Amino acid sequence: MTDKSISLVNHSRLTGHNTAIYCLSSGLRPDTVISAGGDGMIVEWDLLAPENGKLLARAETRLFSLLPCADLQLLVAGDMDGGVHWIDLAEPTRTTGIAHHRKGVFDILRIGDDIFTAGGDGKISRWSATARRSSESLALSANGLRCLAYQPQRNEIAVGASDNNIYLLDANNLDLRHMISPAHESSVFTVCYSADGRYLFSGGRDALLPVWDLTDNYKLISSQPAHWYTINHIALHPSGRWLATASRDKTVKIWDAQSFELVKVLETIRDSGHVNSVNKVWWRPDGKQLVSAGDDRSMIIWEVV
């Protein structure tokens, strides 16, 4: 189904990374976005003048996850080997790398002073952002943990795993509230709460987009084949009205977050989109732009018009 309620056009394409881009997040300054990926480079881009990126740091390994902490002038990055990098931009001598998870660090989440890392070893770890130390680790699965999301009204962390399950944890003590099992036919790569905390959206290797009603005993209320191949990431528009999904099928799709209907497809040829897998999508906080990044080593700024 097509809807004219949102329209996006390719505004510009950013290049500079040498390999696939796996991470997109808000920058340390207003109107900026940060990217990272297989070349280990962490780059900040000014959305008002995106031609030149600013290299903030570089790791000697592939980076799978990234969390900027603007108030601390700190970048936390996770690498393919399970290392957690604490990059201090104000005091570079305090920059450290800690070998922690036995396998890759696939996602990083911050709640106040707590930072959580999701590891390929099946563990979620809690760290202090100021002390930069791990205080506890919880083994959730025999398989890797792939994604994290936080819902403040529910004070809940959703964890997607390679065992096809979604784990819902109390954010204070990491107690398991519920497990959706199985949530997908294969690995869960991304989870995203609706703005009001009622729904949980998820995506993974099976290319399905299920919607779980958390107020009705975690009931599955919608599920549809959303892409041809893996859904790598889901991002909610700041207004809460739309979802963007990024897929290995090279497309970005926009969905109505209330009706769960497809409203827009951003394709390779027609829209000058990506030519390889799209790994991440990120909405500018004012909702006026969407940024996508993928295996083609480029980022595309989509203007909402």
The 10s digit of each residue's pLDDT in 164-201 is: 999 999 999 999 999 999 999 999 999 999 999 999 99
Q: What is the pLDDT of residues 89-112, one digit of tens each?
A: 999 888 999 999 999 999 999 999
Which overall architecture, per CATH, does domain 8-304 show? Answer: 7 Propeller (2.130)
Terminal-to-terminal C-alpha distance of the chain: 19
What CA–CA distance (Å, rounded) separates 118 from 101?
A: 8
pLDDT at 295 over 70: yes
Q: What is the pLDDT of residue 1?
A: 36
Q: 191 or 305: whose pLDDT is higher? A: 191
* Dihedral angle sign, alpha carbons of residues 17, 23, 28, 33: positive
What average pLDDT score do residues 196-225 get? Answer: 97
What CA–CA distance (Å, rounded) separates 112 from 176?
A: 20
Nearest to 107 by CA among 140, 58, 154: 140
Cis ω before 225 (30° cut-off from 0): no
What CA–CA distance (Å, rounded) separates 91 from 69?
A: 14
Structure tokens at 222: 């919608």
Helix, strand or coil, per DSSP, at residue 51: coil
Q: What is the pLDDT of residue 50?
A: 86
pLDDT at 2 over 80: no
pLDDT at 25 over 90: yes
What's the one-letter identity of residue 130?
T
Find out whether 195 and 257 touch, Cβ atoms under 8 Å. Answer: yes
Q: What is the pLDDT of residue 3?
A: 43
Structure tokens at 5: 């309620």
What CA–CA distance (Å, rounded) separates 212 from 283?
A: 23
pLDDT at 4 over 60: no
